[in-house]
Amino acid sequence: MLAGDVFVHEVKDACPPFEAFCRLVSNTNLFFLDSALPAKGISRYSFLGFDPFLTIKTKHRKITLTDKDGTIETEGNPFEHLRELLKQFSLTTIQKSIPFPCGAVGYLGYDLCHFVEKLPSKAVDDMGLPDMYMGFYDIVISYDHVLGKCSIVGVDFGIDNTLKDKIEQIAHVLGKKSDSTSETINHPAPLELSEPTFRFNFTKELYLGAIRQIKDYIKAGDVYQVNLSQRLETHIAIPPYKLYKRLRSVNPAPFSCYVTFDDVAIISSSPERFLQVRNRHVQTRPIKGTRPRGKDEKTDDHMRQALISSPKDDAELTMITDLERNDLGRVCNYGSVNVTEKKVLETYPTVYHLVSTVEGDLHERYDLVDLLKATFPGGSITGAPKIRAMQIIDELEPTKRGVYTGAVGYIGFNGDMDLNIAIRTFVMKGKTVYFQVGSGIVADSDEEEEYEETMHKAKALIDSLKLCNSR
């Protein structure tokens, strides 16, 4: 085990987080965990980093580890390899004021579900992405949106004797004055936009047919709810950071992120927290229930009230909240798991959502990987019962989900963690862009309405791509 000393360098008069991202974007394996829509109590910090000292990529049972000495390939369970890597690093001191004193940043793809439960694997893997990618970082830039502070955090494991020099260099870059307006969120008029051409992994007719099949399973008593998704694909000629800039302007969200490796960029404006751990206290915030924003105040209010008063959406949220409570109960102290917020309406630029919050205290015999295995993937994007829902998803969705509905975020060397649910998320591989949208199918679902819900969720992503095509 390597024990590291923590260094904190406060940057006076630092540029704002998004401007810092723009200044650093050319660095390798850059990440930006971006509270683009800071909300009280749930998205206080933003983090940036680049040039990890170690990376792990997994595909099925193949594990690839890369550090400054080269690359090693082995085989095994990716969750167990992640656990063993995390055990290798500790901190000599814990500063509670620093929520993420360096650690692992990346994603856990949905298809890691095959290492949690025995499931069929019929869907086509046409993207060929790693099931997991994590970079281990010993320098992280931290922005506290409440205190208005920027700090550079470094952990010295004795791996890099230039660590303090690198921190000074980063501080110099962040401290430069600028008249940039990169933090400004603009919404260009629709007339400036041009329509991209999409390829779908479902035709509409096949998607509606899959909904009917799910309803037949529900009628037969196999399942209560299944989240069915469809994927869109297009091509763009701009670099990924510019797509993130467009998405951030159209749909700022509390759990946004940008993660790059090789020729891949994960570009997300997720509204949903999968798991947060602070001092072994766990929080998850499942979303169920969506309505589009109205074009004027009257229709907007109608949409809001329709969601709040919908028995169907209330039942869906209650079902998934119970599922999440049960999942946390597998690894949390008995009696500690509670629903602390129920059916809260949240407002976003293109949609309304209903959200609940479930919290508990992680039992001393379990670690973060145990928590992941007990809860992954999130119930809000699978269904209930979860295992049968995942079996049906694999049967009916033609392509593997990849990053979509997995989780993106960080796992800290201090034992804390914060991961989103990877929805409202682009995966850019070369010049090809993929994104996926879904809806929760229940017994009384209307096929056309469920299809339209997926397109409402796609609106912010499509608008971002339109901006990329505008002149």
Active-site annotation, residues: 272, 288
CA 22 centroid distance within chain: 21
